[in-house]
Amino acid sequence: MRSEAVSPLLHRVLAAVLGTTALATAACGGTSGEPVSPLCEASQAYSVADKVRERAGLDFLARSSGGASFYGDQAGVACSGASNRAACQGALESARGDLNGLSRGKEYIYGYYVATRGDEVIVADAPAELAALVGSADDPNVAAFLALAELPTIECAKVHISARDDETLVTHTRPLGCIDGGTETRTYRVTRSGDVTLESHVRDEPERGCMVEGRLHEGQPRIAYDGDDAGSLLARAAFYEAGSVGSFVRLARELRVHGAPRELVSRAVGAARDEVRHARAMRRLAERRGATVVRPPRAPRAVRPLEDVARENAVEGCVRETHAALVALHQASCARDEAVREAMSGIARDEIGHASLAWAVAEWAEARLDPSARERIASSRAAAIEELRAVEAPDATPEARRALGLPEAAAARALATELAAALEARAFVS
Ligand SMILES: [Fe+2]
Ligand SMILES: [Fe+2]
């Protein structure tokens, strides 16, 4: 696989898993999410605006950019219940609102909603006004309408709704208009009172970015952090991140000695620096939770034959670090602890770079080996890919899982097996 294909591949796998309806809530740590199914029993697509209109007792509901310039589907008939229809229509024509008023944070929603109920003409040009207009969001249609305010029509295959505690999760997958074949998946949390927050946003194109165990090296000890609380898991991550520093320092030296291009050597040095940053970030987060971080022993320094270097790279880099980058991306999307999410966004971006470096090292190193050595390395990599299929979610308390954005068991398996399939399909194609 070419190294530049790593990032889009990981984003695609994550979007596929988070976008899978059965996993949409479990993937992001929801523990009590119950699928809500009545929305799409009979049709492939339907007007959610019309359902909401009926429920709220409105005659008409549409998104407008001024007067009678309506977007998309209009629900109901304007002024149908008015005692003076002409007066109502005149008022509707002259109704104006803030064109950017429904936008939320960085989410830009153009236009505002207008509605009629009897003689009344209503403009809703702020999220709270729209929520007040359509009533309690314990109705799944209302929750979907508020979350996807720019979409009066819902395509059933692209929207998944689940109830959780006293809120509703709405997950929507759509193609990215400007990128061939790309998709984005957004999950919104909608409270009963209609407040909408964007819980996660995943794009399957290389835009941005764990318990990342990092790149291990020959002889690196595993440690037994038994705790399954967030502090222990962060301490464990800090230990492995620190261990990865030595792995990359050694890789850089070995690449230099074996005559690798300067670009590869300096990427390995850069990766070692990244790992120093990751280790510090994880240590800070662990210590903030009262956990103690153990320092790893030094990595061995001796330079090995190129075949050994390439084998370790194939297993630890091409497979395990690529998987770690995927989990890091999941955490960057799902962690509820804001400091963890922020740290993981940067770490995920770096880890994708390390996975991509591994594939670049493979391209360079394996081309220099004889066919039988190449075959041995291919079978080590294939065995490591096979091992991915047995990956289990790390033991973690529900609180730790949510805080750190770790995948639930089903999502962890789906991530690993989807990745295994994607790597198998592409590993030996350059
Ligand atoms: Fe790392
Ligand atoms: Fe790494």
If asked whether residues 384 and 282 sit together in one domain, one would say yes
For residue 240, tell me if it sits in a domain.
yes
Q: What is the pLDDT of residue 33?
A: 47
Q: Give the number of domains in the chain.
A: 2
Question: Quick check: helix, strand or coil at residue 222?
Answer: coil
Q: What pLDDT, in 10s, does the model give residues 41-100?
A: 555 777 788 889 998 999 999 988 777 777 666 889 999 999 999 999 999 999 998 877
- What's the pLDDT at 213? 52
For residues 380 and 268, state if they share a domain: yes
Query: Is there a contact between 406 and 389 (Cβ–Cβ < 8 Å)?
Result: no
Write down the pLDDT at residue 41.
56
The confidence score (pLDDT) of residue 108 equals: 62
Tell me the torsion sign for CA atoms 267, 270, 271, 272. Answer: positive
Instruction: Output the pLDDT for position 28.
Output: 52
Q: Please tell me whether residues 329 and 213 are part of one structural domain.
A: yes
Amino acid found at 108: Y
Domain boundary among 78, 101, 134: 134
Choosing from 86, 113, 134, the residue where a domain stops is 134
The confidence score (pLDDT) of residue 301 equals 79
Q: In this structure, which ligand is nearest to the CA of 355?
A: 2
Residues 118 and 226 in one domain: no
pTM of the predicted model as reported, rounded to 2 decimal places: 0.58
pLDDT < 50 positions in the chain: 20-27, 29-33, 35-38, 176-181, 205-212, 428-430
Based on the fold, state whether residues 335 and 237 are members of the same structural domain. yes
pLDDT of residue 64: 82
Distance in Å, CA 343 to ligand 1 centroid? 11
State whether 126 and 225 are in the same domain: no
Residue type, 135: G
| Residue 159 in domain | no
Predicted confidence at residue 21, as pLDDT, reads 34
CATH number at residue 276: 1.20.1260
284 and 369 share a domain?
yes
For residue 41, how far is its CA from the centre of ligand 2 (angstroms)? 45
State both tokens at 8. 């889009």
Whether residue 3 is contained in a domain is answered as no
Determine, yes or no, domain membership for 258: yes
Residues around ion ligand 2, judged by CB within 5 A, are 214, 351, 354
Distance of CA 222 from the midpoint of ligand 1 (Å): 16
346 Cα–ligand 1 center, Å: 10
Rounded distance from Cα 350 to ligand 2 centre (Å) = 7
Query: Distance from the CA of 347 to the center of ligand 2, in angstroms?
Result: 8
Q: Please tell me whether residues 124 and 230 are part of one structural domain.
A: no
| pLDDT (0 to 100) of residue 133 | 92
pLDDT digits (tens, 9 = 90+) for 331-349: 888 888 889 989 998 999 8
Are 252 and 362 members of one domain?
Answer: yes
As a whole number of angstroms, the distance between CA 217 and CA 222 comes to 11
Q: Look up the domain containing 293 and give its range.
A: 208-426
In this structure, what token pair is assigned to residue 73?
């589907």
Measure 349 CA to ligand 2 centroid, in angstroms: 10
User: Are 352 and 270 members of one domain?
Assistant: yes
CA-based nearest residue to 241, from 274, 289, 267: 274
Instruction: Tell me if 1 is assigned to some domain.
Output: no
Cα–Cα distance list, 290 to 66, 105, 229, 258 (Å): 56, 34, 11, 44
Boundary (domain end) residue, out of 93, 111, 134: 134
The verdict on residue 109 lying in a domain is: yes
Sign of CA dihedral 256, 259, 260, 266: positive
Residue 38 domain flag:
no
C-alpha of residue 321 to centroid of ligand 2, in Å: 6
Residue 189 forms part of a structural domain: no
Ligand 1 centroid, distance to 347 Cα (angstroms): 6
* 123 lies in the same domain as 248: no
Please give the pLDDT value at position 107: 67
